[in-house]
Amino acid sequence: MTNNEVEIPNSTITRDTREFSDRTHNLYESVAIISKRANQISSTMKEELVAKLDEFASEHDNLEEIFENREQIEISKYYESLPKATIVAIEEFLANKVYFRNPAKEESK
């Protein structure tokens, strides 16, 4: 999920909004790009999690199987411990690892 070349902070940090607008010269455009990238990351993570948890799905669950499935619990805990998609997207954007284009700006040139 995460790019090993980008270092993801463990906690929330204060950001200088000017860093975001350096590449696009528009803070709101940068936030929109980061938001779209965060949605991509989140979708990928959800697909991976659902695929892994589907391995444990059965036609008829009894109460004992639900409480005894430690592997499923460990997978869920792993995904909960991953950095949030927004943080990953911000770090990728600031490290110039996100490709984006604005067709409206390209047409005006």
Residue type, 64: E
Q: Is 4 helix (H, G, I), strand (E, B) or coil?
A: coil
For residue range 56-101, list pLDDT tens digits in order.
776 665 656 656 578 888 888 898 889 999 999 999 999 999 998 8
How is residue 58 annotated by DSSP?
-
List the domain boundaries for the chain.
19-108
The answer to whether the beta carbons of residues 11 and 17 sit under 8 Å apart is no
Residue type, 45: M
Confidence tier at 11 by pLDDT (50, 70, 90): confident
- Please give the residue that has the higher pLDDT: either 8 or 36: 36
For residue range 82-94, list pLDDT tens digits in order.
999 999 999 999 9
**Can you give the pTM of this predicted structure?**
0.77
